[in-house]
A = this chain, B = another copy of it.
Amino acid sequence: MTDKNKTDISTLGEFGLIKHLTENIKLQNPSSLKGVGDDCAVLDYQDKQVLVTSDILMEGIHFDLTYCPLKHLGYKAAMVNFSDIYAMNGMPRQLVVNIAVDRRFSIEDIDNIYAGLRLACEQHHVDIVGGDTSSSLTGLVISPTCIGEGEKGTIVYRSGAKDTDLICVSGNLGAAYMGLQLLEQEKTVYSEQLKEGKNNIAFQPDFAGKEYILERQLKPEARRDIIETLRDANILPTAMMDISDGLSSELLHICKNSNAGCLIYEERIPLDYQTASMAEHLNMNVSTCALNGGEDYELLFTVDLANYETVKNLKDIHIIGRITKPELGCMLETRDGQNFELKAQGWNPLKQQQ
Protein backbone atom coordinates (compact mmCIF):
# COMPACT_ATOMS: atom_id res chain seq x y z
CA MET A 1 0.00 0.00 0.00
CA THR A 2 3.03 2.26 0.19
CA ASP A 3 3.81 2.27 -3.52
CA LYS A 4 4.86 5.76 -4.58
CA ASN A 5 2.96 5.46 -7.86
CA LYS A 6 -0.32 5.38 -6.02
CA THR A 7 -2.66 8.32 -5.76
CA ASP A 8 -3.34 10.16 -2.52
CA ILE A 9 -7.03 10.10 -1.59
CA SER A 10 -7.09 13.80 -0.76
CA THR A 11 -6.64 14.61 -4.46
CA LEU A 12 -10.27 13.58 -5.01
CA GLY A 13 -11.99 14.77 -1.83
CA GLU A 14 -15.04 13.07 -0.35
CA PHE A 15 -17.52 13.71 -3.14
CA GLY A 16 -14.91 13.11 -5.82
CA LEU A 17 -14.04 9.76 -4.27
CA ILE A 18 -17.68 8.69 -3.96
CA LYS A 19 -18.23 9.66 -7.61
CA HIS A 20 -15.09 7.78 -8.65
CA LEU A 21 -16.19 4.64 -6.80
CA THR A 22 -19.84 4.63 -7.76
CA GLU A 23 -20.28 6.34 -11.14
CA ASN A 24 -20.34 3.12 -13.13
CA ILE A 25 -22.77 1.32 -10.87
CA LYS A 26 -25.93 0.34 -12.69
CA LEU A 27 -28.88 -0.70 -10.53
CA GLN A 28 -30.13 -4.19 -11.46
CA ASN A 29 -32.96 -4.88 -9.04
CA PRO A 30 -36.48 -3.53 -9.53
CA SER A 31 -36.55 -2.83 -5.78
CA SER A 32 -33.61 -0.38 -6.08
CA LEU A 33 -35.33 2.91 -6.97
CA LYS A 34 -32.49 5.27 -6.10
CA GLY A 35 -28.90 4.39 -5.26
CA VAL A 36 -25.94 6.59 -4.37
CA GLY A 37 -26.34 10.36 -4.68
CA ASP A 38 -29.00 11.61 -2.27
CA ASP A 39 -29.47 11.69 1.51
CA CYS A 40 -30.84 8.14 1.41
CA ALA A 41 -31.20 5.21 -0.92
CA VAL A 42 -34.85 4.60 -1.88
CA LEU A 43 -36.18 1.05 -2.17
CA ASP A 44 -39.56 -0.43 -2.98
CA TYR A 45 -40.22 -3.92 -1.65
CA GLN A 46 -43.93 -3.98 -2.50
CA ASP A 47 -45.45 -7.10 -0.94
CA LYS A 48 -42.09 -8.55 0.10
CA GLN A 49 -40.67 -8.34 3.61
CA VAL A 50 -37.38 -6.55 4.19
CA LEU A 51 -34.35 -8.25 5.73
CA VAL A 52 -31.51 -6.16 7.16
CA THR A 53 -28.10 -7.31 8.39
CA SER A 54 -24.96 -5.34 9.22
CA ASP A 55 -21.37 -6.04 10.25
CA ILE A 56 -18.28 -4.16 11.28
CA LEU A 57 -14.92 -5.55 10.19
CA MET A 58 -11.87 -4.13 11.96
CA GLU A 59 -8.27 -4.39 10.81
CA GLY A 60 -6.22 -6.44 13.27
CA ILE A 61 -9.37 -8.04 14.72
CA HIS A 62 -11.25 -9.53 11.77
CA PHE A 63 -8.56 -9.41 9.10
CA ASP A 64 -4.80 -9.12 8.71
CA LEU A 65 -3.62 -7.22 5.65
CA THR A 66 -0.30 -9.08 5.81
CA TYR A 67 -1.99 -11.94 4.02
CA CYS A 68 -5.46 -10.74 3.07
CA PRO A 69 -5.46 -8.93 -0.31
CA LEU A 70 -7.78 -5.90 -0.39
CA LYS A 71 -9.88 -7.27 -3.24
CA HIS A 72 -10.48 -10.48 -1.28
CA LEU A 73 -11.34 -8.41 1.78
CA GLY A 74 -14.00 -6.47 -0.14
CA TYR A 75 -15.38 -9.71 -1.56
CA LYS A 76 -15.54 -11.34 1.86
CA ALA A 77 -17.12 -8.27 3.53
CA ALA A 78 -20.00 -8.44 1.03
CA MET A 79 -20.26 -12.23 1.08
CA VAL A 80 -20.63 -12.57 4.86
CA ASN A 81 -23.58 -10.19 4.74
CA PHE A 82 -25.24 -12.03 1.84
CA SER A 83 -24.80 -15.20 3.89
CA ASP A 84 -26.91 -13.69 6.70
CA ILE A 85 -29.72 -12.92 4.25
CA TYR A 86 -29.64 -16.47 2.82
CA ALA A 87 -29.72 -17.76 6.40
CA MET A 88 -33.23 -16.23 6.68
CA ASN A 89 -34.23 -17.94 3.39
CA GLY A 90 -34.12 -14.52 1.71
CA MET A 91 -32.43 -13.00 -1.32
CA PRO A 92 -29.92 -10.12 -0.92
CA ARG A 93 -30.80 -7.11 -3.08
CA GLN A 94 -28.89 -4.01 -1.88
CA LEU A 95 -25.59 -3.30 -0.15
CA VAL A 96 -24.48 -0.13 1.66
CA VAL A 97 -20.77 -0.04 2.48
CA ASN A 98 -19.06 2.30 4.96
CA ILE A 99 -15.27 2.39 4.74
CA ALA A 100 -12.68 4.26 6.83
CA VAL A 101 -9.02 4.28 5.78
CA ASP A 102 -5.84 5.72 7.25
CA ARG A 103 -2.96 7.41 5.45
CA ARG A 104 -1.44 4.17 4.19
CA PHE A 105 -4.27 3.78 1.73
CA SER A 106 -4.38 5.19 -1.80
CA ILE A 107 -7.26 5.57 -4.25
CA GLU A 108 -6.01 2.40 -5.96
CA ASP A 109 -6.31 0.53 -2.64
CA ILE A 110 -9.93 1.60 -2.21
CA ASP A 111 -10.52 0.65 -5.86
CA ASN A 112 -9.29 -2.82 -4.98
CA ILE A 113 -11.67 -3.11 -2.03
CA TYR A 114 -14.49 -1.95 -4.32
CA ALA A 115 -13.44 -4.40 -7.03
CA GLY A 116 -14.01 -7.20 -4.51
CA LEU A 117 -17.31 -5.74 -3.34
CA ARG A 118 -18.51 -5.37 -6.93
CA LEU A 119 -17.50 -8.89 -7.92
CA ALA A 120 -19.44 -10.33 -4.97
CA CYS A 121 -22.43 -8.11 -5.82
CA GLU A 122 -22.40 -9.13 -9.49
CA GLN A 123 -22.33 -12.80 -8.61
CA HIS A 124 -25.28 -12.42 -6.23
CA HIS A 125 -27.23 -9.80 -8.22
CA VAL A 126 -26.93 -7.17 -5.49
CA ASP A 127 -26.91 -3.37 -6.05
CA ILE A 128 -24.49 -1.09 -4.18
CA VAL A 129 -26.83 1.77 -3.20
CA GLY A 130 -24.83 3.85 -0.76
CA GLY A 131 -22.05 4.18 1.73
CA ASP A 132 -19.95 6.59 3.69
CA THR A 133 -16.21 6.98 3.11
CA SER A 134 -14.06 8.54 5.80
CA SER A 135 -10.52 8.74 6.99
CA SER A 136 -9.29 6.90 10.07
CA LEU A 137 -6.43 7.70 12.43
CA THR A 138 -5.24 4.11 12.45
CA GLY A 139 -6.45 1.07 10.60
CA LEU A 140 -8.98 0.05 8.01
CA VAL A 141 -12.66 -0.37 8.92
CA ILE A 142 -15.32 -1.84 6.64
CA SER A 143 -18.93 -1.76 7.79
CA PRO A 144 -21.36 -3.26 5.25
CA THR A 145 -25.13 -3.36 5.58
CA CYS A 146 -27.13 -5.67 3.35
CA ILE A 147 -30.84 -5.40 2.61
CA GLY A 148 -32.71 -8.33 1.17
CA GLU A 149 -36.19 -9.63 0.50
CA GLY A 150 -38.15 -12.45 2.00
CA GLU A 151 -41.51 -13.83 0.93
CA LYS A 152 -44.17 -13.57 3.60
CA GLY A 153 -44.50 -16.90 5.39
CA THR A 154 -41.22 -18.32 4.09
CA ILE A 155 -38.72 -16.41 6.22
CA VAL A 156 -36.83 -18.91 8.38
CA TYR A 157 -35.86 -17.96 11.94
CA ARG A 158 -33.67 -19.68 14.48
CA SER A 159 -36.64 -20.53 16.61
CA GLY A 160 -38.64 -23.05 14.59
CA ALA A 161 -36.76 -26.31 15.17
CA LYS A 162 -38.85 -29.07 16.78
CA ASP A 163 -38.34 -32.54 18.19
CA THR A 164 -37.42 -35.17 15.55
CA ASP A 165 -36.41 -32.57 12.91
CA LEU A 166 -33.32 -33.48 10.93
CA ILE A 167 -30.22 -31.32 11.39
CA CYS A 168 -28.44 -30.54 8.13
CA VAL A 169 -25.34 -28.63 7.03
CA SER A 170 -24.17 -27.64 3.59
CA GLY A 171 -20.66 -28.17 2.20
CA ASN A 172 -17.99 -29.05 4.72
CA LEU A 173 -16.74 -27.54 7.95
CA GLY A 174 -13.48 -26.40 9.52
CA ALA A 175 -11.82 -25.53 6.20
CA ALA A 176 -11.76 -21.75 6.72
CA TYR A 177 -10.26 -22.20 10.18
CA MET A 178 -7.55 -24.46 8.83
CA GLY A 179 -6.86 -21.88 6.10
CA LEU A 180 -6.38 -19.27 8.81
CA GLN A 181 -3.96 -21.53 10.69
CA LEU A 182 -1.98 -22.01 7.48
CA LEU A 183 -1.76 -18.26 6.86
CA GLU A 184 -0.76 -17.56 10.46
CA GLN A 185 1.92 -20.25 10.24
CA GLU A 186 3.40 -18.79 7.05
CA LYS A 187 3.29 -15.31 8.56
CA THR A 188 5.33 -16.54 11.53
CA VAL A 189 7.91 -18.16 9.25
CA TYR A 190 8.15 -14.95 7.23
CA SER A 191 8.58 -12.66 10.24
CA GLU A 192 11.25 -14.97 11.69
CA GLN A 193 13.17 -14.76 8.43
CA LEU A 194 12.89 -10.98 8.61
CA LYS A 195 14.25 -11.04 12.17
CA GLU A 196 17.22 -13.05 10.97
CA GLY A 197 18.05 -10.24 8.59
CA LYS A 198 16.89 -12.06 5.48
CA ASN A 199 14.73 -9.15 4.41
CA ASN A 200 15.84 -9.14 0.81
CA ILE A 201 14.94 -12.72 0.04
CA ALA A 202 11.85 -13.41 -2.01
CA PHE A 203 9.55 -15.14 0.49
CA GLN A 204 7.80 -18.13 -1.08
CA PRO A 205 5.04 -19.46 1.13
CA ASP A 206 4.34 -23.14 0.58
CA PHE A 207 0.65 -23.48 -0.24
CA ALA A 208 0.84 -26.45 -2.64
CA GLY A 209 -1.98 -28.92 -2.01
CA LYS A 210 -3.61 -26.47 0.41
CA GLU A 211 -5.32 -24.17 -2.08
CA TYR A 212 -8.80 -25.19 -1.04
CA ILE A 213 -8.52 -24.34 2.67
CA LEU A 214 -6.77 -21.10 1.73
CA GLU A 215 -9.61 -20.12 -0.56
CA ARG A 216 -12.19 -21.02 2.07
CA GLN A 217 -10.54 -18.52 4.42
CA LEU A 218 -9.78 -15.74 1.95
CA LYS A 219 -12.71 -16.04 -0.44
CA PRO A 220 -15.76 -17.54 1.25
CA GLU A 221 -18.87 -18.15 -0.84
CA ALA A 222 -22.38 -17.48 0.49
CA ARG A 223 -24.60 -20.48 -0.25
CA ARG A 224 -27.29 -19.03 -2.51
CA ASP A 225 -27.22 -22.37 -4.34
CA ILE A 226 -28.40 -24.22 -1.22
CA ILE A 227 -31.37 -21.86 -0.81
CA GLU A 228 -32.28 -22.48 -4.46
CA THR A 229 -31.82 -26.24 -4.10
CA LEU A 230 -34.18 -26.31 -1.11
CA ARG A 231 -36.78 -24.20 -2.94
CA ASP A 232 -36.62 -26.41 -6.01
CA ALA A 233 -37.14 -29.42 -3.76
CA ASN A 234 -40.11 -27.70 -2.07
CA ILE A 235 -38.46 -27.90 1.32
CA LEU A 236 -38.90 -25.05 3.79
CA PRO A 237 -36.42 -25.44 6.70
CA THR A 238 -37.93 -25.12 10.18
CA ALA A 239 -34.87 -23.18 11.46
CA MET A 240 -31.70 -21.89 9.81
CA MET A 241 -28.47 -19.99 10.51
CA ASP A 242 -25.22 -19.49 8.70
CA ILE A 243 -22.10 -20.86 10.34
CA SER A 244 -19.89 -17.89 11.08
CA ASP A 245 -18.80 -18.65 14.66
CA GLY A 246 -18.62 -22.45 14.46
CA LEU A 247 -21.12 -25.32 14.25
CA SER A 248 -21.39 -25.84 18.03
CA SER A 249 -22.10 -22.20 18.75
CA GLU A 250 -24.74 -21.91 16.01
CA LEU A 251 -26.45 -25.17 16.90
CA LEU A 252 -26.70 -24.04 20.54
CA HIS A 253 -28.37 -20.83 19.32
CA ILE A 254 -30.97 -22.78 17.34
CA CYS A 255 -31.65 -25.12 20.28
CA LYS A 256 -31.92 -22.26 22.76
CA ASN A 257 -34.19 -20.20 20.49
CA SER A 258 -36.31 -23.22 19.63
CA ASN A 259 -36.40 -24.57 23.20
CA ALA A 260 -35.04 -27.89 21.98
CA GLY A 261 -32.16 -30.29 22.44
CA CYS A 262 -30.09 -31.96 19.73
CA LEU A 263 -27.96 -34.96 19.01
CA ILE A 264 -25.34 -34.82 16.28
CA TYR A 265 -22.91 -37.53 15.19
CA GLU A 266 -19.21 -36.81 14.91
CA GLU A 267 -18.87 -39.25 11.99
CA ARG A 268 -21.52 -37.34 10.03
CA ILE A 269 -19.78 -33.96 10.17
CA PRO A 270 -18.63 -33.26 6.60
CA LEU A 271 -14.89 -32.64 6.21
CA ASP A 272 -12.67 -31.93 3.25
CA TYR A 273 -9.49 -33.92 2.77
CA GLN A 274 -7.31 -30.75 3.00
CA THR A 275 -8.97 -29.80 6.29
CA ALA A 276 -8.22 -33.20 7.79
CA SER A 277 -4.69 -33.19 6.42
CA MET A 278 -3.89 -29.73 7.80
CA ALA A 279 -5.36 -30.61 11.20
CA GLU A 280 -3.19 -33.72 11.33
CA HIS A 281 -0.12 -31.69 10.36
CA LEU A 282 -0.86 -29.27 13.22
CA ASN A 283 -1.63 -32.10 15.63
CA MET A 284 -5.17 -30.81 16.13
CA ASN A 285 -8.38 -32.83 16.42
CA VAL A 286 -10.18 -32.27 13.12
CA SER A 287 -13.64 -32.67 14.67
CA THR A 288 -12.84 -29.95 17.20
CA CYS A 289 -11.84 -27.70 14.30
CA ALA A 290 -15.05 -28.48 12.42
CA LEU A 291 -17.20 -27.92 15.53
CA ASN A 292 -15.58 -24.69 16.66
CA GLY A 293 -13.76 -23.18 13.70
CA GLY A 294 -15.54 -20.11 12.37
CA GLU A 295 -16.00 -18.40 9.04
CA ASP A 296 -17.15 -21.37 6.96
CA TYR A 297 -20.36 -19.54 5.99
CA GLU A 298 -22.08 -22.82 5.33
CA LEU A 299 -25.77 -23.12 6.17
CA LEU A 300 -27.00 -25.01 9.22
CA PHE A 301 -30.71 -25.85 9.11
CA THR A 302 -33.37 -28.19 10.36
CA VAL A 303 -36.10 -29.85 8.32
CA ASP A 304 -39.13 -31.92 9.17
CA LEU A 305 -38.37 -35.65 9.37
CA ALA A 306 -40.92 -36.23 6.59
CA ASN A 307 -38.39 -34.67 4.20
CA TYR A 308 -35.79 -37.35 4.91
CA GLU A 309 -35.96 -39.17 1.57
CA THR A 310 -35.74 -35.93 -0.39
CA VAL A 311 -33.04 -34.27 1.70
CA LYS A 312 -30.66 -37.20 1.82
CA ASN A 313 -30.31 -37.07 -1.96
CA LEU A 314 -29.80 -33.30 -2.30
CA LYS A 315 -26.42 -32.21 -3.59
CA ASP A 316 -23.93 -30.93 -0.99
CA ILE A 317 -26.40 -31.20 1.91
CA HIS A 318 -25.54 -33.51 4.81
CA ILE A 319 -27.76 -34.79 7.59
CA ILE A 320 -25.66 -34.73 10.76
CA GLY A 321 -28.20 -35.45 13.49
CA ARG A 322 -31.60 -34.61 14.86
CA ILE A 323 -33.46 -32.24 17.14
CA THR A 324 -34.51 -33.75 20.48
CA LYS A 325 -36.54 -32.76 23.53
CA PRO A 326 -35.00 -29.86 25.48
CA GLU A 327 -34.40 -31.94 28.60
CA LEU A 328 -32.00 -34.19 26.63
CA GLY A 329 -29.57 -31.29 26.14
CA CYS A 330 -27.31 -30.61 23.18
CA MET A 331 -25.17 -33.67 22.58
CA LEU A 332 -22.43 -34.96 20.32
CA GLU A 333 -22.02 -38.69 19.81
CA THR A 334 -18.37 -39.47 19.06
CA ARG A 335 -17.05 -42.07 16.64
CA ASP A 336 -16.54 -44.50 19.53
CA GLY A 337 -20.13 -44.08 20.73
CA GLN A 338 -19.59 -41.76 23.69
CA ASN A 339 -21.91 -38.78 24.26
CA PHE A 340 -20.60 -35.34 25.20
CA GLU A 341 -22.39 -32.09 25.78
CA LEU A 342 -21.80 -29.53 23.02
CA LYS A 343 -20.04 -26.36 24.13
CA ALA A 344 -19.65 -23.10 22.25
CA GLN A 345 -15.95 -22.46 21.90
CA GLY A 346 -16.22 -20.31 18.82
CA TRP A 347 -14.27 -17.20 18.14
CA ASN A 348 -14.98 -14.17 20.33
CA PRO A 349 -14.52 -10.82 18.56
CA LEU A 350 -14.78 -9.04 21.91
CA LYS A 351 -11.81 -10.75 23.49
CA GLN A 352 -9.74 -7.75 24.55
CA GLN A 353 -6.36 -7.44 22.87
CA GLN A 354 -3.49 -7.59 25.35
Residues on A lying within 8 angstroms of B by beta carbon are: 8-10, 12-14, 17, 33-34, 37-47, 49-56, 58-62, 84-85, 87-88, 90, 94, 96, 98-100, 102-103, 129-139, 141, 143, 145, 147-148, 150, 152, 155, 157-159, 240-242, 257, 348-353
Q: Which residue of B lies closest to A101 (CB)?
A: B350
Q: Which residue of B lies closest to A9 (CB)?
A: B350
Contact B44 A49 (CB under 8 A): yes
What is the total number of copies of this protein in its complex? 2
Contact A59 B137 (CB under 8 A): yes
List B contacts of A12 (CB < 8 A). Answer: 350
A44-B49, A137-B59 known; A96 and B350 CB under 8 Å?
Answer: no
Choose among B52, B94, B159 the residue that contacts A43 (Cβ–Cβ < 8 A).
Answer: B52
The docked-state distance in angstroms from the alpha carbon of A152 to that of B100 is 34
Choose among B14, B87, B141 the residue that contacts A348 (Cβ–Cβ < 8 A).
Answer: B14
The docked-state distance in angstroms from the alpha carbon of A49 to that of B33 is 9
Contact B348 A58 (CB under 8 A): no
List B contacts of A54 (CB < 8 A). Answer: 96, 98, 130-132, 143, 145
Chain B nearest Cβ from A111, distance in angstroms: 15
The docked-state distance in angstroms from the alpha carbon of A82 to that of B221 is 34
List B contacts of A85 (CB < 8 A). Answer: 39-40
List B contacts of A33 (CB < 8 A). Answer: 49
List B contacts of A148 (CB < 8 A). Answer: 40
Question: What are the nearest 7 A-B pairs in CB distance?
Answer: A56-B98, A143-B143, A39-B87, A43-B50, A40-B51, A60-B137, A39-B84
Contact B136 A40 (CB under 8 A): no
- 14 further A-B contacts with Cβ under 8 Å, apart from A44-B152, A54-B98, A61-B100, are A39-B241, A40-B84, A54-B145, A56-B99, A56-B143, A58-B135, A61-B135, A61-B136, A61-B137, A96-B145, A132-B143, A133-B349, A135-B350, A135-B351
Chain B nearest Cβ from A149, distance in angstroms: 10
Q: Which residue of B lies closest to A143 (CB)?
A: B143
The docked-state distance in angstroms from the alpha carbon of A14 to that of B139 is 22
A40-B53, A45-B50 known; A58 and B350 CB under 8 Å?
Answer: no
List B contacts of A17 (CB < 8 A). Answer: 350
Contact B56 A50 (CB under 8 A): no
Q: Which residue of B lies closest to A46 (CB)?
A: B47
Contact A100 B141 (CB under 8 A): yes
Contact A38 B158 (CB under 8 A): yes
| 24 contacts across the A-B interface (CB closer than 8 A) | A13-B348, A38-B157, A39-B88, A40-B85, A40-B90, A42-B51, A44-B50, A44-B152, A45-B50, A46-B47, A53-B130, A54-B98, A54-B132, A56-B99, A58-B136, A58-B137, A61-B135, A61-B137, A103-B352, A103-B353, A132-B143, A134-B350, A136-B139, A138-B139
- Interface core residue of A33, A40, A43, A257 (most chain B CB under 10 Å): A40
List B contacts of A136 (CB < 8 A). Answer: 58, 61, 139
List B contacts of A241 (CB < 8 A). Answer: 39
Contact B96 A52 (CB under 8 A): yes
The docked-state distance in angstroms from the alpha carbon of A161 to that of B37 is 15
Chain B nearest Cβ from A89, distance in angstroms: 10
Chain B nearest Cβ from A129, distance in angstroms: 7
Contact A350 B138 (CB under 8 A): no
The docked-state distance in angstroms from the alpha carbon of A242 to that of B133 is 18
